[in-house]
Amino acid sequence: MFQLDLKSRESIYEQIINQMKELIVSGVLKEDEKLPSVRELSKILTVNPNTVQKAYRELERQGYVYTVAGLGCFAASMKDVKRDEAAISQLTETLRSTLRQLTYLGFTKDETASLLEQVFREEQLKAEEMKKGSERA
């Protein structure tokens, strides 16, 4: 279910956040479906509960999940996801920076465009597979 890479530069709690977003957005976790509890997930991933907690808290702050103390953490409606300007402008800045880096490395516009196309296709395939996987289950 989860793939953590301890060697990655992405911190553990960020990896948890992103993979959980993937599950929620792709619909594997339906609205109001319960997420694994903090302790449960921490055992599965052999990570400290605090690390999972940190991820869950950030997910709640961004509107992907909601929390009921004593009951657990649940997938929110996609309508509740906060599409705030700050997040978007930050992502476009990252996008800009990444594209710039690629041109520094000598990538032509065409090379970059085809790379983009490839990434797009891969993501789409991945999303479809996740959906099928959850439907089969």
Partner DNA sequence: GTGGTCTAGACCACT
Partner DNA sequence: GTGGTCTAGACCACA
Residues in contact with its own copies by CB under 8 A are: 6-7, 10-12, 18, 21-22, 25, 61, 66, 68-71, 76, 78, 81, 83-84, 87-88, 91-92, 94-106, 109, 112, 115-116, 119-120, 122-124, 127
137 binds, among DNA, its own copies, none (CB under 5 to 8 A by kind): none
How far apart, in whole angstroms, are the C-alpha atoms of residue 45 and residue 47? 5
3-state percent breakdown (helix, strand, coil) of the chain, nearest 5: 60, 5, 30
- Residue 23 touches which member of its own copies, DNA, none, C-beta under 5-8 Å by kind: none
Contact (Cβ atoms closer than 8 angstroms) between residue 66 and residue 76: yes
Rounded CA gap, 115 and 113, in Å?
5
Binding footprint of DNA on the chain (CB under 7 A): 11-14, 35, 37-40, 47-51, 53-54, 56-57, 60, 67-73
